[in-house]
A and B are shown apart, each in its own frame.
Chain A
Amino acid sequence: MTAMVKAEGVHKSFGPVEVLKGIDLEVNTGEVFCLIGPSGSGKSTFLRCINHLEKINAGRLYVDGELVGYRQKGDKLYEMKDSEVAVKRRDIGMVFQRFNLFPHMTALENIIEAPVQVKGVSKAQARERAGQLLERVGLADKAGTYPSQLSGGQQQRVAIARALAMDPKLMLFDEPTSALDPELVGDVLDVMRDLAESGMTMIVVTHEMGFAREVGDSLVFMDGGVVVESGHPRDVLTDPQHERTKSFLSKVL
């Protein structure tokens, strides 16, 4: 198996505050990789580093074998231009806790926006594809609806469809169900489960331990900017080795 994402000693600081203090991990292609940890432990920050929404300060981060945000020539690193970073981001889908759908566009327009604007796909083709994606997330009848007229769960499913429309090879989920009413969580998790079964490589920051145990292939527990424990979700969740993992799990389970 090849590594889709590889982190070696990744550090990230905001001013004087060091948020990531040397993260080492590997995400295999086709794997569902769950990231758990207490609030403020740096989970979102790490996810944002992967598609270079944040710049790392030290270490190396590779996606699909290529450095994120930099080019290496000899032993020198060159920062990529914004336009080059943008090209890399096409292959990485991201789903946010607060959906971040474009409110001035209908569900369908949200989905076709990036394929048309970025990849130059024809509108007709993009529309057809968007229709299929909406059907896949169970919202075939909501194509012409604006986000404000959708429930949270529906919005999040449109957001997933929007990310999928770019045919990413990696999907990042940052607490995709945390902002949802409990009865809406299931629909979103179903879509994610379906996506996992189709073989998508997924990194999922989540508090849904049931989902992690059932769908996840690997799980990492982060605290204070470091990886405390990692392994198969079943093992970590049922038989944690570290005190910090134990106390965190006892609070959320």
Chain B
Amino acid sequence: MTVDVNKTDGPADPTPPAGPEAIKAIPVRHPWRYVSAVIALALLGAVVYAFAQGEINWGAIPDYFFDDRIIDGVLKTLLLTVLSMVIGIAGGVLLAVMRLSKNPVTSSIAWFYIWFFRGTPVLVQLFVWFNLGLVFEYINLGPIYKDYWSSFMTPLLTALLGLGLNEAAYMAEICRAGLLSVDEGQTEASHALGMSHTKTLRRIVIPQAMRVIVPPTGNEVINMLKTTSLVSAVQFFDLFKEAQDIGQNAGSTVEMYFLAAAWYLIMTSVLSVGQYYIERYYARGSSRTLPDTPFQKIKANMLSLTNRPAAGGGA
């Protein structure tokens, strides 16, 4: 409820009375913030020193950082992450809807799928896809396509199936939680307006479920980006595989691991920022003010560290 400060009752006063004097108090001191900052910096310095002393040829990292093979690996890693997540999200939504459906057949199928793919390691699944040629010698799609399994199942396809289908099982649980989080009154209101099940799901339930689905999905994307490093095992030349190969040929194995780690860090950092903006988008209408952007947050943190109140009075 708002209080009208400038209420003028009684005889009209030509000049409104001046408000109370602004508070000028000495802010609370936070000495431990400085102490902990100093300790953290000291520890960091010690670690950096230790690594700098070690027998690591740091010069090799900048030499190879933008090497064609590394860049190619980075792009392949990104491609694999995106495609696997697309398969995972599409499959996950489908499985979640199946799991929640009234039809006992579809919900059991979904349950079984999730049980199987969540219950086995993704590396094992990758090898199984890779070696499925032992079970199916040919792949035969009638007149459209016919080939040996081994030449059909390229490393890319193996990687996509292995990572994507496994991801779908995890995404299914995330989506299910999201769908269940939407108030039943929403479905009811939508049905009462004459909207079909599908329209209700697509227009009303899923957009609201996104608020619950997006944050863990962001984690899944970041996780996926790192998990793609497993596909070197099925001969897919992603960032990790390229770095490993260069390292072995140039005799700088550890250096190339550091290089790969740096690239992974860069990519996950960029993804985190993207996630933030997507979350902000789906938060619309759910709260009265949108959350701060990362830059606003950083600014606010800096200001609070220097003990000044954050700009905009956000407290």
Contact = CB atoms under 8 A, between A and B. Distances in A.
A94 B287 contact: no
A94 B287 CA distance: 26
A6 interface: no
Interface stretch (A9-17, A58-66, A135-143, A146-154): A146-154
Nearest to B184: A100
Contacts of B286: 103-104, 148
B197 A82 contact: yes
A114 B193 contact: yes
Nearest to A85: B191
B203 interface: yes
Contacts of A51: 192
Contact of B195 (A96, A98, A117): A117
B287 A148 contact: yes
Number of chain B interface residues as a range? 20 to 34
A83 interface: yes
B288 interface: yes
A96 B192 CA distance: 10
B147 interface: no
Given A96-B188, A104-B208, A148 B285 contact: yes
B38 to A, nearest CB: 44
Contacts of A159: 189
Contact of B188 (A100, A104, A114, A118): A100
A234 B192 CA distance: 31
B196 A102 contact: no
A88 to B, nearest CB: 8
Contacts of A35: none
B140 interface: no
A159 B192 CA distance: 12
Given A103-B208, A103-B286, A104-B207, A114 B185 contact: no
Interface in A34-68: 51, 53
B204 interface: yes
Contacts of B193: 89-90, 113-114, 118, 162-163, 166
A149 B191 contact: no
Residue among A88, A102, A106, A146 having the largest count of chain B Cβ atoms under 10 Å? A102
Interface in B79-123: none
A203 interface: no
A86 B194 contact: yes
B297 interface: no
A117 to B, nearest CB: 6
B196 A105 contact: no
Contacts of B195: 86, 113-114, 117-118
B280 interface: no
B208 A86 contact: no
A118 B204 CA distance: 13
Given A82-B197, A86-B194, A118-B193, A146 B285 contact: yes
A80 interface: no
Given A53-B192, A149-B288, A163-B192, 12 more contacts: A82-B196, A86-B195, A86-B196, A89-B191, A100-B189, A104-B286, A106-B285, A114-B195, A117-B203, A118-B199, A146-B285, A148-B286
